[in-house]
A and B are shown apart, each in its own frame.
Chain A
Amino acid sequence: MERAVPPTVPLGQMEVFQALQRLHMTIFSQCFSPCGKFLAAGNNYGQIAIFSLSAALSSEAKEESKKPIVTFQAHDGPVYSMVSTDRHLFSAGDGEVKAWLWAEILKKGCKELWCRQPPYRTSLEVPEINALLLVPKENSLILAGGDCQLHTMDLETGTFTRALRGHTDYIHCLALRDRNPEVLSGGEDGTVRLWDLRMAKEVQTIEVYKHEECSRPHNGRWIGCLATDSDWMVCGGGPALTLWHLRSSTPTTIFPMWAPQKHVTFYQDLILSAGQGPCVNQWQLSGELKAQVPGSSPGLLSLSLNQQPAAPECKVLTAAGNSCRVDVFTNLGYRAFSLSF
């Protein structure tokens, strides 16, 4: 098996420190570039590393090409979330969102374009931003996190236009519905809330932990991940991973996975999920576990599918979590290699 950690023995103070830092690194977020050839990954030390997928996937790929082409300090705290538009990369960490130009990043000039902080009320601790969501129709960015609100930022003007309040604990995740201008949010309080963006209000609340089929009190109530596809929504976390029918707000399928899931996504007719444990789980909609593909990290936090039509050769699934490595799956069957900080 491929060993991502080189077997060199760290000796001096600096080397030991660096080895320890790598050992305790967590990659919270990943994002593909608009051209599809690059992958940005953000870790708990506030660094963003840019990997060249096209180089790593090419036939003459060396160990070197699995290292980042550029790494820069983006935030003071961890980089919890990243999204990308045609030109920009948005990264969010402790209380602020920063924009970077892809063109600049790839030229290795890593200076932030701007930095914005949503209007917070508390002062003692700056709330973190756990999730970013682009709403292309209205050209805005939704930020959600520690202050239990969904802040909408207009990308044209850079101003925060509205705040959606309702969650009683911090928000973990966001998802955008395809047709209606509606956003789903899941949080630590165990609820999934559906927001209508036009009316700027909550239209539906699903308290997942209250449904006996999926509640798991020993794991807590929190909703760590959710994804949506037309009328369907899948969410997981403390409660079991469950497929919901939104209109009737009933759980249709409970996926038999003991470990809390941290990321879930629809992919063709499958549901991909990852969480505690090294595996990427592939589910049939019926609740059947189709496959469990092991990665190199002890726990996964994010999955990312590169579906940019511009780079069909770089169509991969990447998974990152509690290690300094980003696992790359060229097909869903096995881990091809790992990119490493």
Chain B
Amino acid sequence: MSSESSKKRKPKVIRSDGAPAEGKRNRSDPEQEGKYYSEEAEVDLRDPGRDYELYKYTCQELQRLMAEIQDLKSRGGKDAAVEIEDRRILSCVHFMTLKKLNRLAHIRLKKGRDQTHEAKQKVDAYHLQLQNLLYEVMHLQKEITKCLEFKSKHEEIDLVSVEEFYQEAPPDISKAEITMGDPHQQTLARLDWELEQRKRLAEQYRESLSNKEKILKEIEVKKEYLSSLQPRLNSIMQASLPVQEYLFMPFDQAHKQYETARHLPPPLYVLFVQATAYGQACAHMKSSQPPRQDKTLSVAIEGSVDEAKALFKPHEESQDDESDSDAEEEQTTKRRRPTLGVQLDDKRKEMLKRHPLSVMLDLKCKDDSVLHLTFYYLMNLNIMTVKARVTTATELITPISAGDLLSPDSVLSCLYPGDHGKKTPNPANQYQFDKVGILTLRDYVLDLGHPYLWVQKLGGLHFPKEQPQPTVIADHSLSSSHMETTMKLLKTRVQSRLALHKQFASLEHGIVPVTSDCHYLFPAKVVSRLVKWVTIAHEDYVELHFTKDIVEAGLAGDTNLYYMALVERGTAKLQAAVVLNPGYSSIPPIFQLCLNWKGEKTNSNDDNIRAMESEVNVCYKELCGPRPGHQLLTNQLQRLCVLLDVYLETEIHDDSVEGPKEFPQEKMCLRLFRGPSRMKPFKYNHPQGFFSHR
């Protein structure tokens, strides 16, 4: 059997090696299947488990056979060879079976590999597909977030609030039943409403514009009509002028003045209005006199109106320019250093520039003397200044000592206490001055006029010291409240100065003029005589040895006027240094005495000289004479003469000196001395004519 199977197997191997193409024919031809043996098909039919059993069995058989052969061989014998031969054939058959099994195993391995490969390819394809799908998912997710992040323009629009929207919007837009629950629909509806409203407003705007156009046109027409009216009115006015003149009604003149007044700067305007008003009020009070001729106060405007207009027009521009020009100026100063001085000069001039218009006040006093006041306005400093001039009805002979009395520089000094008019009243000015290198306004007052405080008040300007204000505005009420007192003070000042002027003329000739209504103050016989009356400088006064007290008490300011009087009787010479306050005669002149007689006697070494000083200085009120007291100075001087008489006549006679008394006692005195300081009887009792102690 084993040989059979080995025969069968051989051709099969040869054929399959030799002609592989025949296999197809073999399979497709089922008749040949029985003839051709296909091992591959056989593999499918056979069970691998049984093959394994077969393999095990075959191997065991072979081992047994081998062992039997070996056994036989070792025993040796004759029949052994036959036995061996049988056994050899059997084992060959088993070998053949093993070979077959081996082939089958190979074929099976090959088949298994093919199957695995196929399966692997399938898995790969699926994996690729999965990755594609994942990518797609990711992309879609991105798109979704992009959509979610989208911002709509409508969020920037300011919408009316929800409540308002439901109140105001018509139901066809608001659609409350839909939009109430749905915020999206609600927003849409609100946007609709907004659009509607905006459309309406735009419509309204267009209407207003056209209205405006219409009104402008109307105004144009009316303006044309008015301008055509002006020449006609002018001609009527022109025609009425002769009538006005004839009827003596200065309407036109006043009108012109008011026209000019419009160009005045505010403070001068306030002054002009208030002064005119005051002048008219005064004229009304004295209505018995014909108006206009005898006005005590007349007001006029001087200066060029055109210049003022020119000044006014580019005013707004120039303000803007200033800042620019400042910068420019800085540049130019850098460029042109040598001309710095000239530039500063120009700047100073610019700063001290006054308004081209000025207001003239003419104040007429009873004796027909006139005080001319010219008020100026310093535009850049915002202060007012005044220049004064006094004219008299009759020509005055000017005494030497009266030089300063009516000088424009000093005639109005200290009209109110302490108002010297030398410093600027505007505290802001100091900083302006620092910029251009002006030390004080004092150096310029002669040229510009004096910036007295009362001038500022008449112009309605007030510069409070405690709270500096950025802008000072001219105030009518301030001006009107100061007008009357100031005008009265001005009049009193001029009158007292004129009175002094007259008195000085006779004082210089050694005559003390005592008016008849003051005779009762003095005894009939006064022996001491005034021999000298001269003006002295402030510095000289301060240096006098007997004026120390007055200087220390601060009563000898440099605004006062200073005089030296010399009263003589025999060998006695009484020097009197006089301080004349500008506020004379309400503030009395102050006398300091020095008697040269038997040594030098002043208030520090002689109580009676001190008493004489206090007689004229402190008890001056009884010497004022009739109001307004212009006789005070002369009465004081006359009193000084009387006092010297009393002093000399009551001086005790030194018994040891030979000869008669130089000054026999002529005055009637009750007692010669009194009190601890041995006062002399300086008080004159009028009707009886005797002297007593105060």
A residues near B (Cβ < 8 Å) are 3, 5, 7-13, 15-17, 19-24, 26, 28, 77-78, 80, 124-125, 128, 130, 146, 170, 172, 188, 217-218, 220, 222, 224, 262, 276-277, 298-299, 301-302, 322
Please determine whether A9 and B677 come into contact, CB atoms closer than 8 angstroms.
no
B180 on the A face (CB < 8 A): no
B87 on the A face (CB < 8 A): no
Please determine whether A8 and B618 come into contact, CB atoms closer than 8 angstroms.
no
Max chain B Cβ within 10 angstroms of own Cβ: one of A7, A11, A124, A130: A11
B279 on the A face (CB < 8 A): no
Query: Contacts A24-B610, A80-B675; is A298 near B603 (CB within 8 Å)?
Result: yes
Cβ of B678: which chain A residues have Cβ within 8 Å of it?
A: 188, 222, 224
B residues near A (Cβ < 8 Å) are 414, 417-418, 549-550, 552-555, 557, 581, 583, 586-588, 590, 598, 603-605, 607, 610, 613-614, 617-618, 652, 654-656, 670-671, 673-678, 692-694
Cβ of A5: which chain B residues have Cβ within 8 Å of it?
A: 552-554
Max chain B Cβ within 10 angstroms of own Cβ: one of A23, A80, A222: A23
Please determine whether A22 and B674 come into contact, CB atoms closer than 8 angstroms.
no
Cβ of A298: which chain B residues have Cβ within 8 Å of it?
A: 603-605
Please determine whether B555 and A19 come into contact, CB atoms closer than 8 angstroms.
yes
Cβ of A77: which chain B residues have Cβ within 8 Å of it?
A: 694
Please determine whether A10 and B554 come into contact, CB atoms closer than 8 angstroms.
yes
Query: Contacts A125-B692, A217-B654; is A21 near B618 (CB within 8 Å)?
Result: yes
Question: Mind listing 5 A-B residue pairs with CB under 8 Å?
Answer: A17-B588, A22-B553, A24-B610, A24-B618, A188-B678
Cβ of A13: which chain B residues have Cβ within 8 Å of it?
A: 417, 583, 586-587
B174 to chain A, nearest CB (A): 82
Query: Contacts A21-B618, A217-B655; is A16 near B676 (CB within 8 Å)?
Result: no
Sample of 16 further A-B pairs with CB below 8 A, known A9-B557, A23-B550? A5-B554, A10-B554, A15-B417, A19-B553, A19-B554, A20-B590, A23-B549, A23-B617, A24-B613, A124-B692, A170-B674, A218-B654, A276-B605, A277-B605, A322-B603, A322-B610
A148 to chain B, nearest CB (A): 11
Please determine whether B552 and A3 come into contact, CB atoms closer than 8 angstroms.
yes
Query: Contacts A10-B555, A20-B590; is A262 near B550 (CB within 8 Å)?
Result: no
Name which residue of chain A comes closest to B613, CB basis: A24
Please determine whether B587 and A7 come into contact, CB atoms closer than 8 angstroms.
no
Name which residue of chain B comes closest to A45, CB basis: B618
B431 to chain A, nearest CB (A): 26
Cα A188 to Cα B677 with chains together (Å)? 11
Cβ of A23: which chain B residues have Cβ within 8 Å of it?
A: 549-550, 553, 555, 617
Cβ of A11: which chain B residues have Cβ within 8 Å of it?
A: 414, 417-418
Cα A188 to Cα B673 with chains together (Å)? 8
Cα A12 to Cα B549 with chains together (Å)? 19
A94 to chain B, nearest CB (A): 9
Which of A26, A299, A302 is within 8 Å of B604, CB to CB?
A: A299
Cα A322 to Cα B549 with chains together (Å)? 12
Max chain A Cβ within 10 angstroms of own Cβ: one of B554, B557, B603: B554
Which of A12, A222, A299 is within 8 Å of B673, CB to CB?
A: A222
Query: Contacts A220-B652, A298-B604; is A170 near B676 (CB within 8 Å)?
Result: no
Cβ of A218: which chain B residues have Cβ within 8 Å of it?
A: 598, 654, 656
Name which residue of chain A comes closest to B598, CB basis: A218
Please determine whether B656 and A217 come into contact, CB atoms closer than 8 angstroms.
yes
Name which residue of chain A comes closest to B579, CB basis: A16
Please determine whether A322 and B607 come into contact, CB atoms closer than 8 angstroms.
yes
Cβ of B676: which chain A residues have Cβ within 8 Å of it?
A: 28, 80, 130, 172, 224, 262, 301-302
A70 to chain B, nearest CB (A): 23
A120 to chain B, nearest CB (A): 13
Cα A21 to Cα B618 with chains together (Å)? 6
Cβ of B677: which chain A residues have Cβ within 8 Å of it?
A: 26, 28, 262, 301, 322
Instruction: Report whether over half of chain B's contact residues are helix, strand or loop; otherwise say mixed.
Output: loop
Cα A188 to Cα B549 with chains together (Å)? 31
Please determine whether B552 and A170 come into contact, CB atoms closer than 8 angstroms.
no
Shortest Cβ-Cβ A-B pairs, 7 listed: A11-B417, A24-B614, A298-B604, A9-B554, A12-B417, A11-B418, A217-B656
Cβ of B418: which chain A residues have Cβ within 8 Å of it?
A: 9, 11
Please determine whether B674 and A7 come into contact, CB atoms closer than 8 angstroms.
no
Cα A125 to Cα B669 with chains together (Å)? 11
Please determine whether A125 and B670 come into contact, CB atoms closer than 8 angstroms.
yes
B503 to chain A, nearest CB (A): 21
Cβ of A224: which chain B residues have Cβ within 8 Å of it?
A: 676, 678
Cβ of A262: which chain B residues have Cβ within 8 Å of it?
A: 676-677
Cα A37 to Cα B588 with chains together (Å)? 40
Cβ of B656: which chain A residues have Cβ within 8 Å of it?
A: 217-218
Cβ of A78: which chain B residues have Cβ within 8 Å of it?
A: 675
Max chain B Cβ within 10 angstroms of own Cβ: one of A20, A78, A128, A276: A20
Name which residue of chain B comes closest to A322, CB basis: B610
A95 to chain B, nearest CB (A): 12
Cα A323 to Cα B320 with chains together (Å)? 64
Please determine whether B671 and A170 come into contact, CB atoms closer than 8 angstroms.
yes
Name which residue of chain B comes closest to A172, CB basis: B676
Cβ of B598: which chain A residues have Cβ within 8 Å of it?
A: 218
Please determine whether A16 and B693 come into contact, CB atoms closer than 8 angstroms.
no
Please determine whether B617 and A20 come into contact, CB atoms closer than 8 angstroms.
yes
Cβ of A146: which chain B residues have Cβ within 8 Å of it?
A: 671, 674
Query: Contacts A125-B693, A130-B676, A299-B604; is A16 near B610 (CB within 8 Å)?
Result: no
Query: Contacts A13-B583, A322-B610; is A125 near B554 (CB within 8 Å)?
Result: no
A327 to chain B, nearest CB (A): 16
Cα A119 to Cα B418 with chains together (Å)? 52
A21 to chain B, nearest CB (A): 6
B549 to chain A, nearest CB (A): 6
Cβ of B673: which chain A residues have Cβ within 8 Å of it?
A: 170, 188, 222
Please determine whether A20 and B618 come into contact, CB atoms closer than 8 angstroms.
yes
Query: Contacts A20-B618, A217-B656; is A128 near B554 (CB within 8 Å)?
Result: no
Name which residue of chain B comes closest to A9, CB basis: B554
A276 to chain B, nearest CB (A): 6
Query: Contacts A5-B552, A24-B618; is A124 near B670 (CB within 8 Å)?
Result: yes
Cα A315 to Cα B9 with chains together (Å)? 169
Cα A184 to Cα B583 with chains together (Å)? 53
Cβ of B604: which chain A residues have Cβ within 8 Å of it?
A: 298-299, 322
Cα A277 to Cα B603 with chains together (Å)? 11
Cα A3 to Cα B554 with chains together (Å)? 12
Cα A17 to Cα B604 with chains together (Å)? 21
B418 to chain A, nearest CB (A): 4
B259 to chain A, nearest CB (A): 42
Cβ of A299: which chain B residues have Cβ within 8 Å of it?
A: 604-605, 607
B544 to chain A, nearest CB (A): 16
A174 to chain B, nearest CB (A): 12
Cβ of A222: which chain B residues have Cβ within 8 Å of it?
A: 673, 678
Please determine whether A24 and B693 come into contact, CB atoms closer than 8 angstroms.
no
Cα A125 to Cα B694 with chains together (Å)? 10
Cα A12 to Cα B419 with chains together (Å)? 11
Please determine whether B554 and A8 come into contact, CB atoms closer than 8 angstroms.
yes
Name which residue of chain A comes closest to B694, CB basis: A77
Please determine whether B670 and A16 come into contact, CB atoms closer than 8 angstroms.
no
Cα A262 to Cα B610 with chains together (Å)? 16
Cβ of B554: which chain A residues have Cβ within 8 Å of it?
A: 5, 7-10, 19
Cα A118 to Cα B656 with chains together (Å)? 38
A280 to chain B, nearest CB (A): 16
Name which residue of chain A comes closest to B610, CB basis: A322
Cα A217 to Cα B673 with chains together (Å)? 16
Cα A24 to Cα B613 with chains together (Å)? 8
Cβ of B603: which chain A residues have Cβ within 8 Å of it?
A: 298, 322
Name which residue of chain A comes closest to B656, CB basis: A217
Query: Contacts A11-B418, A78-B675; is A16 near B655 (CB within 8 Å)?
Result: no
Cα A146 to Cα B681 with chains together (Å)? 13
Name which residue of chain B comes closest to A15, CB basis: B417
Cα A7 to Cα B553 with chains together (Å)? 7
Cα A146 to Cα B656 with chains together (Å)? 27
Cα A257 to Cα B421 with chains together (Å)? 52
Cα A298 to Cα B588 with chains together (Å)? 24
